[in-house]
Structure 1
Amino acid sequence: MSQATDEPGETVEPAEAFSVVASEARLNILEALWRAEDRPVRFSELHDAVELDDSAQFNYHLQQLTGQFVKKVDGGYDLRRAGAQVIRALRAGTFTQRPRVEPLEVEGACTGCGGSLEARYADEQFAIDCTDCGKAHGQYGFPPGGLVDRTDEEIVTAFDERVRHLHCLAADGVCPECGGRMHTELEREGDCCLDVSLRAEHVCERCRYELCSPVGLVLLDRSVVVAFYEDHGIDISDRPYWTLPWCVDDEHYTVQDVDPWRVEIEVPLAEERLRVVLDGDLTVHEAERISCED
């Protein structure tokens, strides 16, 4: 089995890579390739799409991109993954937008006091908080591009889906940003915006991307929990994570041991409760369904 490393091969220094795309003409070339319905794109068609009058100047910029961001193939030019990533980052709005969003009403009630919840957007993050007691129900990243061409309801739904996706990837050891290896630790110390005393902290060993969550959040895609809800006629993916107390509260957690970690989470539903025990890697160690009459 082959293994990739950071050793050269062909590498480009970060400063050089950014300098290559620091040109409006080159960004226009990348976007024209990205927008093309059929690729590869012939030189003449790409030139027409970019609307750069000087053919020699256009060719110069195209050649500067070729290799790291664009590839020359039979029939013309195509985007490399790096080129597509540049355009995706721009369209996500991370580098170009600082939108203002009015607070959004969201489904569900505060798991602490029963008050109303709202989503507030700042610094490319949504925070779900109670309007009465201020209890936090999660604060996670959401790119500005996700706000475009969506109703308020669609934005909130997209945020919920993104949170599930990010945390399930992280808990499975895959960085949502770079694909690198994520390291997970359970933490009790230090301040945290999640308003919980026990949290999972995920850190990418490669790009240092960080994500933290209540430990119950990892159960959203675990088959034992999905099946538990299905047996009660409920698709758990239809329930926003912040409406599930075991995803946001400490009350449903019991630390059985710390060496090694064993954390018990109770998931109540109708006349039953599901008892799940996680280890320090957030792997399901035990699972048991119990009648509430027991």
Structure 2
Amino acid sequence: MSRSDVSSESAKLLECTDCLAPADAFALIGNETRLSILEALWVADERPVSFSELRREVGMRDSAQFNYHLQKLTGHFVRQVEDGYEFKHAGEKVVRSVIAGSFNEHPTLEPFAVEGSCVACDGPLQAVYEDERLAIECPDCGQRHGEYSFPPGGLNGRTREEIADAFDQRVRHLHCLAADGVCPECSGRMETHIVEDGVCCLGVGVRVDHECAQCGHTLCSAAGLRLLDHSEVVSFHRERGVRLDERPYWTLPWCVSDEYTRVLECDPCRLEVRLPVDGDELRVVMDGDLEVLETTVESSG
């Protein structure tokens, strides 16, 4: 059964019996006192937190008024248990978004140089931050080496070098989840498609598109990016003195270019990615869901 078939079957089985419309959900938390309650839960040393302790932390004297706001949150953002109140996932998500700066921070960051050289012209690379997205690009020819979301909170307390490293780790994590069929935004089912049209932030002719069937979140990349944590790929590079976990993804041409990728078959889809190191080459064949089917090593010796 394909991923789309499983998704359809799941949709038939799951029905929301106690759901809020999005506008109603935002209305519930669009209140300073209710946000303060969620933040008080977040900073608590232990959970659950009692009614009196929450009220004291929020600083509201009127018990009835405080209870009114707390009950508005209960059931959707927090749950009441025997010893007090604790988060539901939605409440935790709201607080994390506030901490990440997604709701209330709009920082600016001048472009800065990063490690590596352009796969198109061998020029220098820089990181550019705009609209909560960070892109690695070549200022000489404009070639993009990936552009992904990076919440404003990720800039806080970090040097430019640390920002670049955090971005690299985030991109690896996002694509690892997506390729495993899990949406990094909502945990819904992520569907993978091989596309040959060259229209994306990388400008590659063959790319991988991941799209969430639930929330519509999308990610795109060169096919090789999926291989960064594959055991045989990691071993192949380590045996030749290359630690992939110490190399930003954009310094590895097979992660940002389709020069090393070719489509072997279309139905069903099969891809081959070549990974050259010091004259040797690892060839990896993957299916349309980016599962590795086989690997072979061609040695220069």
Helix, strand or coil at the partner of 1:58: helix
Map of 2:182 onto structure 1: 174
Map of 2:218 onto structure 1: 210
Q: 1:276 aligns with which of 264, 281, 284?
A: 284
Q: Say whether the 8 Å CA contact 2:189–2:212 is kept in structure 1.
A: yes
Deviations 1:96-120 (A, max 9, x none): 2222111121111112222110000
Moved more, 36-45 or 250-259: 250-259
- TM-score, normalised to structure 1's length? 0.94
Q: Does 2:96 align with 1:95?
A: no
Moved more, 155-164 or 75-84: 75-84
Helix, strand or coil at the partner of 1:275: strand
1:237-248 equivalent positions in 2, closer than 5 A: 237-248=245-256
Give the AA of the match of 1:85. K
Take 2:262 and 2:48, find their aligned partners in 1: how far apart are those partners?
A: 57
- TM-score, normalised to structure 2's length? 0.92
Give the AA of the match of 1:197. G
Q: Does 2:3 align with 1:25?
A: no
Give the AA of the match of 2:69. H
Take 2:295 and 2:28, find their aligned partners in 1: how far apart are those partners?
A: 53
Q: 1:152 aligns with which of 148, 160, 168?
A: 160
Q: Say whether the 8 Å CA contact 2:198–2:207 is kept in structure 1.
A: no
Take 1:261 and 1:68, find their aligned partners in 2: how far apart are those partners?
A: 42
- Structure 1 residue 53, shift from structure 2 partner: 2.6
Helix, strand or coil at the partner of 1:56: helix
1:111-130 equivalent positions in 2, closer than 5 A: 111-130=119-138
Map of 2:150 onto structure 1: 142
Take 1:85 and 1:193, find their aligned partners in 2: how far apart are those partners?
A: 28
Pair 1:273–1:212, CA change in 2 (3 A): same
Give the AA of the match of 1:292. S
Take 2:242 and 2:61, find their aligned partners in 1: how far apart are those partners?
A: 59
Deviations 1:214-239 (A, max 9, x none): 11111112122111122223321110
Map of 1:133 onto structure 2: 141
Give the AA of the match of 2:204. V
Map of 2:209 onto structure 1: 201
Take 1:165 and 1:137, find their aligned partners in 2: how far apart are those partners?
A: 17
Moved more, 138-147 or 10-19: 10-19
1:1-40 equivalent positions in 2, closer than 5 A: 5-40=13-48
Map of 2:88 onto structure 1: 80
- Structure 1 residue 10, shift from structure 2 partner: 2.5
Pair 1:157–1:281, CA change in 2 (3 A): same
Q: Does 2:200 align with 1:192?
A: yes
Take 2:220 and 2:142, find their aligned partners in 1: how far apart are those partners?
A: 20
Give the AA of the match of 2:99. R
Map of 1:68 onto structure 2: 76
Runs of 4 or more, structure 1, over 3 Å off, are 2-6
Take 2:85 and 2:271, find their aligned partners in 1: how far apart are those partners?
A: 53
Helix, strand or coil at the partner of 1:118: strand
Take 1:27 and 1:5, find their aligned partners in 2: how far apart are those partners?
A: 34
Take 2:117 and 2:220, find their aligned partners in 1: how far apart are those partners?
A: 22
Map of 2:61 onto structure 1: 53
- Structure 1 residue 18, shift from structure 2 partner: 1.6
Map of 2:269 onto structure 1: 261
Task: Point out where structure 1 has 5 or more consecutive residues left out of the alignment.
Answer: none
